[in-house]
Amino acid sequence: MAITGNTLKKLRREAGLTQKKLAERVGVSQAHIAKIEQGKVDPRLSTVNRILQVLTVTKQNRCKDIMTKGVLFAKPNDTILGVSDVMMRHAISQMPVLSGNKVVGTVTEEIIIRNLRSNLAAEKVKNVMGSPLPTVQEETSIDAVRRILEKHQGVLVARGKEIVGIVTRSDLLKTIG
42 in the same domain as 13: yes
Number of domains in the chain: 2
Q: Check residue 60 and give its pLDDT.
A: 64
Residue 14's domain comprises 5-59
pTM summary value: 0.64
69 in the same domain as 52: no
Whether the CB-CB separation of 136 and 163 falls below 8 Å is answered with no
Q: Check residue 176 and give its pLDDT.
A: 66
Beta carbons within 8 Å of 80's beta carbon, 6+ residues apart: 107, 112, 115, 120, 121, 122, 123, 124, 125, 128
85 in the same domain as 140: yes
123 in the same domain as 166: yes
Percent of the chain with pLDDT over 70: 95
123 in the same domain as 83: yes
